[in-house]
Chains A and B, each alone.
Chain A
Amino acid sequence: DAKTTQPTSMDCAEGRAANLPCNHSTISGNEYVYWYRQIHSQGPQYIIHGLKNNETNEMASLIITEDRKSSTLILPHATLRDTAVYYCIVHSPHAGGTSYGKLTFGQGTILTVHP
């Protein structure tokens, strides 16, 4: 399955936008980009996912480049409660794909939001 590369850590000031990059240069055509986050001592939490179009929900926006080799998760107004590890994952929901059914978590990006 496709691998992802994320920065180890990032900082952001409270109230500012947090932009978290992810590289997935070997993504295949039927694989989606998913983002999860894990707040300390809790289970991972789904944020957003997309295939090739940009997506937005109440939590965040996902910008996927035209060649699909990278993406950016945007938290528009970061708060202290957004401090967490953010995971970018490529995943195929379709049977037959090598990543079918599997979320493969890397090391993620530790986002620290400062007052």
Chain B
Amino acid sequence: DAGVIQSPRHEVTEMGQEVTLRCKPISGHDYLFWYRQTMMRGLELLIYFNNNVPIDDSGMPEDRFSAKMPNASFSTLKIQPSEPRDSAVYFCASSFNSYNEQFFGPGTRLTVL
């Protein structure tokens, strides 16, 4: 398996624009996680899914953020409208179950100007 795949790897956009980050989890993994990492706040869990259903979105910062998982092999994290404070590295991770380790993707580095 190729591991967790994220796209794009880098995104530069202007304030107010819509940004969509994409993630393909490892095949057979039932859990998918979205994290955000900044120097100030470290690595934070935004939301996670189990069998395509959102379980906990308490980490989503505000209504500008939304995440979907239409099927077991694809998830998106959308920011609309984007703001400069959203600049961060966004990681997607997946795991077989809640007990097993999480496998992280390479991340998407987002810069909002």
Interface size on A, residues (CB 8 A): 20
A34, A38, A101: the one contacting B56 at CB < 8 Å is A101
Q: Taking A93-B97, A101-B31, A101-B56 as contacts, is the C-beta distance between A46 and B102 under 8 angstroms?
A: yes
Assembly CA distance A38 to B107 (angstroms): 12
Query: Is the Cβ of B48 less than 8 Å from the Cβ of A101?
Result: yes
Q: Is the CB of B107 within 8 A of A43?
A: yes
Q: In the assembled complex, which residues on chain A have CB atoms less than 8 Å from the CB atom of B102?
A: 44, 46, 103
Q: Which residues of A contact B (CB under 8 A)?
A: 34, 38, 42-46, 49, 87, 93-95, 100-107
Footprint of A on B, CB under 8 Å? 4, 31, 33, 42-45, 48, 50, 55-56, 91, 93, 97-99, 101-107
14 inter-chain pairs at a CB distance below 8 angstroms, sorted by A residue, are A38-B43, A42-B106, A43-B104, A43-B106, A46-B101, A46-B103, A93-B97, A93-B98, A93-B99, A95-B98, A101-B55, A101-B98, A102-B45, A103-B33
